Amino acid sequence: MADTLHLAADPVELTAALVDVPSVSGDEARIADLVERSLKEQTTLEVARSGNAVLARTNLGRPSRVVLAGHLDTVPINANLPSRLESDILHGCGTVDMKSGDAVMLNLAATVQDPRHDLTFVFYDCEEVEAVRNGLGRIEREMPEWLKGDLAIVCEPSNGVIEAGCQGTMRIEIRTKGARAHTARGWMGVNAIHAIGDALRRLEAHEPRQVDIDGCLYREGLQAVKISGGVAGNVVPDEAVLTVNHRFAPDRTPAQAEQHLRELFDGYEVTVTDVSAGALPGLGAPTTRELVEAAGGTPVAKLGWTDVARFAALGMPAVNYGPGDPLLAHTQQENVPVNQIRQCVEVLTRFLS
């Protein structure tokens, strides 16, 4: 592992250097040390540490502040290290999700000398695992002043296009009860799996909403993702559980999304097991409009859930903007075109300078 990163060098080379430092969730100490040391040695930013998260910021007294955030961890390595460059495409674990975005941020930290906005850079840990371990949550609890700003840019892969806001997500369990009996005398019992059939038919017939917000089209989703029940091959099951995942547009609150599901599955026992609110696009905010103008093109809706929702919950507009195709995230074939990395640096430099 290199002793330092050359932050002002070609961001493609910087991406490769980051990729070649393994940092599977929970094992980010080495890369965090490297990022912290490089920022302290090569910039005049105020630098702080929170666990295996590294934070850096300007204190120039500008009237506005932009927060750029990216996670340092990756999913488990899948025979896709070290990085390799072939035909202007960089391959390797984390090239998409999201060390190319981290490289963009680090390059900006070293090269944007007189920004129009004060800047905060947040490189955090444990994004790829359960939400309770997410480094942003810890920073929000212990160092909340570091997350305040007028716009947050989460440099998750977005194919170099601004993805505005994000959808909310909710998981529910639909539970049915029955009565056990020997299958040879099935009429003596009540089959809980059969009882869940109507819920599946309602799902099949359901037509998800499509919602236009600020010119961004959010396509909601409602899918059965798991079904369980039964205790033995010759016993009528007395319980069944259907798990459903709902992706809802950000014009709905979690309470409204839950009400929608309870109405759809009226008559069933419904339990919410997990929920995260979405984030509105916030494209009308002045700082966001400046970013859109610098990026060109047309912003699109983020159809998944990302940490932009954490910033939206703090009362600030937030967008996803970074290199790489999100469809390649978490795959063995992760790769990113080098021109997307350089393009993102150029766009954000133009926006910030």
Active site residue 127: yes
Alpha carbon distance 223, 96 (integer Å): 27
Q: Which is nearest to 193 in space by CA: 226, 223, 224, 230?
A: 230
Distance of CA 4 to the CA centre of its chain: 28
Alpha carbon distance 92, 204 (integer Å): 39
Residue among 97, 102, 118, 127 flagged as catalytic? 127
Q: Which is nearest to 216 in space by CA: 165, 170, 253?
A: 165
Report in angstroms the alpha-carbon separations of 111 from 44, 222, 306, 346. Answer: 11, 45, 27, 11
Residue among 28, 36, 73, 163 flagged as catalytic? 73
Q: In this structure, what are the phi and psi dihedrals at residue 222, rounded to the nearest 5 degrees?
A: -145, 110
**DSSP codes, 253-318:** -HHHHHHHHHHHTTTSEEEEEEEE--B---TTSHHHHHHHHHH-S--EE--S--THHHHHHTT--E
The tokens of 28 are what? 């980010």
Alpha carbon distance 39, 48 (integer Å): 10
The tokens of 288 are what? 């966001």
Report in angstroms the alpha-carbon separations of 313 from 148, 195, 309. Answer: 11, 39, 6
Catalytically annotated residues: 73, 127
